[in-house]
Amino acid sequence: MTPATRTLTRCWIALLLLAAASTLVIGLSPPWLSLAVLTLAGAKDWLILTRYLGLSAAPRMARGFGVVLALFLICAAALALAA
C-alpha cells in the first residue's frame, strides 16, 4: 500500500467514524446536541477538503476554505441554539 493510499484509507475510516457518531448524536433531542453534530460535520468537511481534495498542499487555499467553513458553522450553530 502506497503512502497516498494509506492516507486516503485512514481518512475514509475517520469519515465513517465521524458519520456514525453524527448518527448516534442526532437522535437525541436537546438543542445543544446540535452543536455536537455541527462539530462532527465540520471535522468531516475539513478531512474532505484537506485529504480528498488535496488542499493540504495549498495552505493558503485551505485556510480560506477553513475560514468560510468556520463562519458557516458558527451561523448554523447560532440558528440551532436560537430555535
Give the domain ranges of the chain. Answer: 3-82
3-62 pLDDT per residue, tens: 888 888 888 898 888 888 877 777 666 777 788 888 888 998 898 888 888 888 999 999
Instruction: Report the half-sphere exposure of 60 (CA within 13 A, side-chain side).
Output: 0
Query: In this structure, are residues 76 and 45 in contact, taking their beta carbons and an 8 Å threshold?
Result: no
pTM over 0.95: no
Please list, residue by residue across 47-75, b when 16 or more beta carbons sit within 10 angstroms of its beta carbon and e when fewer do: bebbbeeebeeeeeebeebbeeeeeebee
Residue 71 has a pLDDT of 95
Rounded-to-integer distance, Cα 26 and Cα 19, Å: 10
Residue 27 has a pLDDT of 65
